[in-house]
Chains A and B, each alone.
Chain A
Amino acid sequence: MIKLTVNKQMYQLDVDPQMPMLWVLRDVLGLTGTKFGCAVAQCGACTIHLNGEAVRSCVTRAERANGQHITTIEGLSKDSSHPLQKAWLEFDVPQCGYCQSGQIMTAAVLLREIPDPTDADIDDAMSGNLCRCGTYQRIKKAIHRAAGLQKEGVGHE
């Protein structure tokens, strides 16, 4: 039995402790905002927060989340008001949109750790997240914008 908190809600799940959190979230809990891209921690589409740290849910086993706190894109803000979500919309970042949950979840940890990141900080933090539509330039601009919004105290959290 795995006990964990996902987006502030407690769950007790009878799942294989070896099951990656990606599939616990998607196929057991029905939280499909976290995406499957490669299953080998190469693309970042499955990025979630485990106790506030960005992890690849495709290689994070359920047993590692036992007793821990998970946040997914669905729980990042109540009403899509996180500064990153606002900035993403302002800069028209998403194209196909498939990778963007993972991009935003990675960026959220970056912004918490480095509230005013440089381009190099953003490259370092974000280069593990692939985007086949090539939205990288807009992601970078949006992260700078979100840093500004965060400083102004705009948005949730």
Chain B
Amino acid sequence: MNNLTTDRRSFLKSGAILGGGLLISFVIPPKLRGLLASDTESAAVLVPNAFLKVNADNTINIFLAHSEMGQGIWTSLSMLIADELDANLKDIRVEHAPAAPEYKHTIVDFQITGASTTTYSEFDRYRYAGATARWLLVAAAAKKMGVGFSDCRTENGFVIAGGKRIPYGELVGPAAKLTPPAKIALKKPEEWKYIGHNIRRLDGLPKVNGTAVFGIDVKGDDLLIATVVHSQVIGSKIDSYDDSEAKKVPGIVAVLQVPTGIAVLARDYYTANKAKKLLKINWSKSDYETFSSQDLTESSKLLVEADGMPAVKKGNVDLAGFKAWKTVESTYTFPYLTHVPMEPLNATVKISSDKKSCEIWTGTQLPGNEQAVAAKILGISPGQVKIHTTFLGGGFGRRVNPQSDWVTEAVEIAKASGRFIKMIWAREDDIKGQYYRPQYVHKVKVALNEKGLPEVWHHNLAGQAIYQEHGWVFNVKNGIDQSSVEGMADSQYLDAIPNVFMGVHTTKSPVSVLWLRSVGHTHTAFVMETMIDQLAQVAGKDAVEYRRLLLSESPRSLAVLNLAAEKSGWGKPLPEGHYQGVAVQASFKSYVAQVVEVSLDQANNIIVHKVTCAIDCGLNVNPENIKSQMESGIVFGLSMAKYGEVTITRGRVDQNNFYDYKIVRMNETPVMDVYLVPYTGQEMGGVGETAVPPLAPALANALFKATGRRFHSLPLMNQFINTTKS
């Protein structure tokens, strides 16, 4: 491991140690207890900690500190509790926890779903939560039956001793009066009934019959729909507006100004949207009317000609002084990207009539932040703001905004109108609404020695600093934003390269930025893995063989590389006109390799036939779900590689809707074959984001074989190669 750049990893590691059961809050403050209990509940209930509740009718409520946005934690976190509690999955009712300190992340000091951390960061806390409840139920049963604690065993929601079986529900009253010991032993892996097994999604049923409630589905008496007109030019504000035509639309309840635009309220979206289009607004001149994303790319290209602030510096990085066998040099450009979750951003806000409390329903990855922001706007304490986290119709990073942009706007509308409102953004508001993955430019120069191996790696990049711009300084190390360099500064290839310089130029732009699924790896993996591929070619070596040479000290990367190569039939004959490309990337503490098989049809359309994917994430908690997530990341990565691009011209975002911000459709989807490295005690890693990074470089590497051209920029649709079958 490269010891120069382990800051983030050591941060995560120390955090993980803290998470080892020590942070569990086993004391439930009375207020939270109120939030967890339903109104109609009888007194007999066992609430051993903030994460579950055992009811007298044998049902068990599980409270998720993280948000379900498709990644499958509704199921995996429940499995952790169910295994330790010996619960029957059919008795389990899952819900999102409220915003409360008890649900702070075990690694960072606030409540968040992100960085593919959920399952491993909760692995101990949720198991202890279940084990504690089990201890209390067993102790209560032993007392009731007059037997010893160790005479009892548990199974499927029953405590069993001798010939007697008592359902958990009958024990909740007495169990609630007991105090658990400080230390409770967890089950051994061979005792797991759920963990490590394929468990079907617990949120499957409501998602196939239309009953799953997303933020946009929230209902209520007297609920009004709010749509908003936003400025089309970045930085432009409202000078004045004329709503006389808009107000003539039958059914319009109110038109009002909020800091971010003009809101229109009606009983239904159609009416609000119709009136919105009739507003006449005079927008102020903006300083950014001359801003274009292309200009930012060009100025960034100039920046990367010089060394930036060092992120990695080892050995002698003076390329001029090195007598190289060969040198390879490339410049890479990446556009702004947007997340386009299928559910447009929305929030429902109800302020109490005395204005002293507020309820918010929304799909968010950051409930505590939404709570704090709403409280500030309303001049009340955060405790008076109740956040109901609904299902998220996709997140991909967009629903984890420290600026709480869409919740802020909804709260402002509710405050200004004094009404119970559900604000819904149009797809155009989402696509033009900024908070994009930043643009980046990289320049890499590599000197190879006579063996064809890299001797000097000289690398500069320019881009906006996501964490810095949001004030999340815990991911800024010595002035280097980790979102800019993760996946390159900690690349395992660097262990095999004696002389390395990686420098960062942090750019500024009027465009606000945000993390997008796999964050820095969306660009760094592409640069590293296409450059390594190019070096292999220059060295006259096979792409897999060359990587094996460089990764000899990185066993987990090597293992996934070998697994993907073997399963894809790497090096074996392919159908005529088919070509394979490979990439491997460690991200979020896991290791993923992919082999992409492509061909080009007569019209030069890219056909992606197959992606073979191997992952090592340590323990495979719910193997089938990991496969789902790999498929998801592959399709996400393919959309990014082929089409992903937001451009800005004269201060205006050029894209509008799915017709010009395209994502992959079924007819472009390859066959995906996923293999999991078996668990033999490896450290656990993340899953949700980890399949995204290798896809684009593996595809570009396959296209090199197909076309003889190196692709140094994304998206591919701009590069004289057709990306769609039509």
Partner-B contacts on A (CB < 8 A):
16, 18-20, 23, 26-28, 30-40, 42-43, 45, 72-74, 76-77, 80, 84-85, 88-90, 92-101, 104, 122-124, 126-140
B651-669 CB mask vs A (1 if < 8 Å, else 0) is 0000001110001111101
Complex Cα gap A52–B210 (Å): 18
The answer to whether B200 and A16 touch across the interface, beta carbons within 8 angstroms, is: no
Contact (Cβ within 8 A) B203 A97:
yes
A136-B666 contact, Cβ under 8 Å, with A36-B269, A96-B69: yes
Contact partners of A136 in chain B: CB under 8 A = 635, 664-666, 669
A23 to chain B, nearest CB (A): 4
B207-220 near A? 1/0 per residue, CB < 8 Å: 11111111011010
Q: A35 near B342 (CB under 8 angstroms)?
A: yes
* Residue pair A32, B204 in contact (C-beta under 8 Å): no
Q: Please report the C-alpha to C-alpha distance between residue A45 and residue B340 in the assembled complex, in whole angstroms.
A: 13
Report which residue of B203, B204, B269, B392 has the largest number of chain A beta carbons within 10 angstroms of its beta carbon. Answer: B204
- B269 & A27 in contact (Cβ 8 Å cutoff): yes
B212-253 at interface with A (beta carbon < 8 Å) = 212-214, 216-217, 219, 225, 250-251
Contact B208 A80 (CB under 8 A): yes
Q: Which single residue of chain A is at the shortest CB-CB distance from B674? A: A137
- Does A40 contact B208, Cβ atoms closer than 8 Å? no
Closest 8 A/B residue pairs (Cβ): A33-B210, A134-B635, A97-B207, A95-B70, A98-B393, A96-B70, A27-B268, A73-B210
Tell whether A27 pairs with B342 under 8 Å between CB atoms, given A35-B216, A38-B658.
no
Q: What residues on A are CB-neighbors of B70 within 8 Å?
A: 94-97, 133
B208 x A104 contact (CB < 8 A): yes
Q: Determine the distance from Cα of A131 to Cα of B668 in the docked complex, in whole angstroms.
A: 12
In the complex, chain B residues whose CB is within 8 Å of the CB of A97: 70, 203, 206-207, 212, 391, 393
Say yes or no: A95-B72 contact (C-beta < 8 A), given A123-B667, A136-B666: yes
Complex Cα–Cα for A20 and B344 (A): 18
Using A27-B267, A133-B70, A134-B635 as known contacts, list a sample of 4 further A-B pairs with CB atoms less than 8 Å apart, ordered by residue number in A: A16-B251, A27-B270, A35-B393, A104-B208
In the complex, how many angstroms separate the beta carbon of A129 from the nearest chain B beta carbon? 7
Interchain CB contact under 8 A, A98 and B342: yes
> A130–B658 contact, CB under 8 A?
yes
Which B residues are in CB contact (< 8 Å) with A40? 427, 657-659
**Distance from A140 Cβ to chain B, minimum over Cβ atoms (Å):** 7
Contact between B667 and A127, CB atoms less than 8 A apart: yes
Q: Which of A35, A40, A76, A132 has its CB near the most chain B CB atoms (within 10 A)?
A: A132
Give the chain B neighbours of A131 by CB distance below 8 A: 342, 635
**Count, chain B residues at interface, CB 8 A:** 64
Q: How far is the CB of B252 from chain A (nearest CB, A)?
A: 12
Beta-carbon contact of A74 and B631 below 8 Å = no
Contact with A along B250-275 (1 / 0, CB 8 A): 11000000000000000111110000
Give Cα A122 to B342, complex, Å.
21
**Closest partner residue, chain A, to B671 (CB atom):** A137
Q: Is the CB of A135 within 8 A of B632?
A: yes
User: B268 contacts which chain A residues (CB < 8 A)?
Assistant: 19, 23, 27-28
Q: Does B625 contact A (CB under 8 A)?
A: yes
Task: Please report the C-alpha to C-alpha distance between residue A153 and residue B60 in the assembled complex, in whole angstroms.
Answer: 36
Q: Check A89–B666 contact: CB distance below 8 A.
A: no
B334-370: which have CB < 8 Å to A? 340-344
Return chain A residues, CB-CB under 8 Å to B99.
Answer: none
- Find out whether the CB atom of A80 lies under 8 angstroms from the CB atom of B635: no
Q: Which chain A residues border B206 with CB–CB below 8 Å? A: 97
Interface status of B19 (Cβ within 8 A of chain A):
no
Residue of A nearest to B630 (CB): A134
| Separation of A27 and B341 alpha carbons in the complex (Å) | 21
Q: Which of A94, A97, A135 has the most CB of B within 10 A?
A: A97
Contacts of B69 in A (CB 8 A): 96
Contact A100 B427 (CB under 8 A): no
A129-B666, A134-B632, A137-B669 known; A98 vs B343 contact (CB < 8 Å)? yes
B209 contacts which chain A residues (CB < 8 A)?
33, 73-74, 76-77, 80, 85
Cross-chain contact A92 with B201 (CB below 8 angstroms) = yes
CA distance A133 to B689 in the complex (A): 11
Q: In the complex the two chains form, is A127's CB within 8 Å of B665's CB? A: yes
Q: Taking the complex as formed, is B618 at the interface, i.e. its CB lies under 8 A from any CB of chain A?
A: no
A40 to B391, CA, bound (A): 24
Pair B672/A137 contact, Cβ less than 8 Å: yes
- Chain A residue with Cβ nearest B204: A89
B342 adjacent to A94 (CB under 8 Å)? no
**Partner among B200, B657, B664 whose Cβ is within 8 Å of the Cβ of A134:** B664
Task: Tell me, in angstroms, the Cα distance from A137 to B664 when the chains sit together.
Answer: 12
The CA of A156 and the CA of B115, in the complex, are separated in Å by 42
Distance to closest chain B CB from A15 (angstroms): 8
